[in-house]
């Protein structure tokens, strides 16, 4: 299987064609469903073709997005929705076969009911993943609390797990938790379907964040880089790198040595990190000392000692690279769970850089996925409102039609 090369495409992919096709298909399906003579199998086959086309377009957009910019909201969105389309395609295939075999037993109302319940059905099928992920997240938070103390960020994962499982149980078991008299009203059905749409959207984004994080963390850039940014993350009391930071430096060194061996090309290290309130020296100075101890010449190292966050790491490192007056290809080294978010920050300051990830303890990963997921909810609000609003609108229309 051919490797997908990141950052090799200059044009951003889009899915306007899928939006147009979606509008046409659902308008045609709606018009056919209004006709009492319409065969349910015909509409089901139209939807079958649509979902096949949608899946192909989503996969194509996902591949092209990796080639353009793997560190993007779109990478997550295409992944999450492609999985949902796979699910509805399988279900619709079963439904199509049944309608063709027994045309007199299935009617247009059955198709509408299926479409209305598809989000809840997806939540049901993926609930084992949600449950396992939530348990994994809780366990990782327990390990983090034992290792790093009761910080708010280490406790939020437990709260998120409770909300994640609780929301799914509420949607799937509403008849058990809510008064039966309310379940038969149109208003209540609309409310519950809206809740299912919102939960479904958030679940798609979470699954997409997990997959995107794994893909970007495992990617190995081409050995043709001119600069390697190393992101700081804290020092020991004596000013030497912590195991986490040393892992990042060693990962950068491994990439450099592999590049030197394969191509003979040198690169310049940009050590990025300021001095924290509890640190005796700047993180950049500590990293520089470590690199020199590993045989890297001092003139091959640039210090950036003002940053205090990942975004500042990328902003100030870019400035230091520009000060050299040299243009070149850039990579960055960080911990594997941090690669995706670091790449997002690099693109936010309009710097094209590819990440390499150093291995770390397993219990850092779940919290990292939740952070990426939470960060996405605060960005691209317009695009997210459009996608989520479309899902909610479709669910409302279908619910009203099914209960008319």
Query: Distance between CA atoms of 396 and 401, rounded to whole angstroms?
Result: 9
pLDDT of 243 higher than 70: yes
Strand partners, 13: none
The pLDDT assigned to 404 comes to 64
Between the ranges 46-50, 111-115, 200-204, 241-245, where is the mean pLDDT highest? 241-245
Distances (CA, A) of 119 to 25, 130, 204, 226: 19, 15, 11, 47
Asked if residues 212 and 73 have their Cβ atoms less than 8 Å apart, the reply is no
Q: What is the mean pLDDT of residues 181-209?
A: 80
The fourth-level CATH superfamily of domain 227-328 is HUPs (3.40.50.620)
Q: What is the pLDDT of residues 291-334, one digit of tens each?
A: 999 999 999 999 999 999 999 999 999 999 999 988 899 999 99
CA 312 to chain centre: 22
Q: How far apart are CA 91 and CA 100, in angstroms?
A: 14
> Residues with Cβ < 8 Å from 88, sequence gap 6 or more?
51, 118, 122
Beta strands in 117-272 (DSSP E): 227-231, 268-272
- What dihedral angle (degrees, nearest 10) is formed by the CA atoms of 80, 83, 84, 87? -170
**What pLDDT is attached to residue 158?**
85
Query: pLDDT tens-digit profile of 75-102?
Result: 988 998 898 899 888 888 888 887 777 7
pLDDT at 276: 87
Distance (Å, whole) CA 92 – CA 381 = 32
> What is the predicted pLDDT for the residue at 183?
53
* Domain extent listing, the chain: 16-219+370-402, 227-328
Pairing of strands 301-304, 330-335: unpaired
Residues 377 and 204: beta-carbon distance below 8 Å = no
Q: What are φ and ψ of residue 335, in 5° steps? A: -80, 150
Do you know the residue count of the chain? 404
* pLDDT (tens digit per residue) in 352-365: 999 999 998 887 77
What is the token pair recorded at 345? 């920050």
pLDDT of residue 300: 96
Residue 177 has pLDDT above 60, yes or no: no
Which stretch of 149-153, 257-261, 264-268, 344-348 has the lowest confidence by average pLDDT?
A: 149-153
Q: What is the DSSP string of 133-161?
A: HHHHHHHHHHHHHHHH-S-HHHHHHHHHH
Query: In the structure encoding, which two tokens stand for residue 9, read together?
Result: 């495409």
Q: Which of 5-9, 71-75, 191-195 has the lowest mean pLDDT?
A: 191-195
Distance CA 363, CA 247 (A): 16
- Mean residue pLDDT of the chain comes to 86
Residue 184: pLDDT over 80: no
């Amino acid at each position: 299987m051919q490797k997908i090369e990141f950052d090799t495409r200059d044009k951003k992919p889009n899915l306007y064609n899928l939006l147009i096709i979606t509008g046409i298909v659902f308008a045609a399906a709606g018009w056919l469903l209004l006709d009492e003579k319409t065969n349910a199998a015909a509409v089901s086959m139209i939807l079958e073709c649509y979902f096949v086309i949608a899946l192909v377009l989503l996969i194509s957009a996902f591949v092209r997005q990796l080639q353009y910019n793997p560190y993007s909201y779109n990478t997550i969105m295409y992944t999450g929705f492609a999985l949902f389309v796979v699910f509805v395609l399988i279900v619709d295939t079963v439904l199509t076969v049944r309608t063709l075999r027994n045309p007199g037993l299935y009617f247009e109302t059955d198709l509408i009911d299926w479409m209305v319940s598809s989000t809840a059905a997806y939540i049901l099928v993926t609930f084992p993943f949600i449950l396992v992920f939530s348990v994994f997240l809780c366990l990782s938070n327990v390990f983090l609390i034992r290792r790093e103390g009761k910080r708010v960020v280490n406790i939020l994962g437990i709260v998120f797990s409770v909300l994640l499982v609780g929301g799914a149980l509420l949607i799937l078991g509403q008849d058990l938790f809510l008064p039966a008299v309310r379940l038969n009203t149109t208003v209540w059905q609309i409310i519950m379907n809206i809740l299912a749409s919102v939960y479904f959207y958030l679940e798609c984004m979470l699954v997409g964040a997990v997959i995107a994080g794994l893909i970007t963390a495992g990617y190995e850039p081409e050995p043709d880089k001119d600069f390697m940014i190393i992101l700081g993350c804290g020092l020991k009391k004596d000013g030497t790198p912590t195991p986490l930071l040393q892992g990042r430096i060693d990962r950068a060194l491994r990439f450099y040595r592999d590049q030197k061996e394969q191509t003979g090309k040198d690169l310049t290290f940009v050590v990025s990190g300021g001095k924290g309130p509890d640190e005796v020296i700047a993180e950049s100075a500590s990293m520089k000392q470590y690199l020199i101890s590993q045989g890297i010449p001092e003139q091959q190292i640039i210090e950036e000692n003002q940053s205090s966050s990942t975004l500042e790491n990328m902003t100030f490192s870019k400035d230091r690279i520009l000060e050299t007056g040299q243009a070149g290809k850039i990579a960055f080294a960080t911990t594997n769970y941090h690669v995706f978010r670091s790449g997002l920050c690099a693109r936010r300051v309009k710097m094209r850089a590819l990440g390499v990830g150093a291995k770390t303890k397993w219990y850092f990963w779940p919290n990292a996925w939740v952070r990426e997921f939470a960060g996405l909810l605060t960005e691209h609000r317009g695009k997210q409102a459009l996608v989520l609003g479309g899902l909610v609108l479709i669910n409302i229309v279908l619910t009203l039609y099914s209960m008319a």
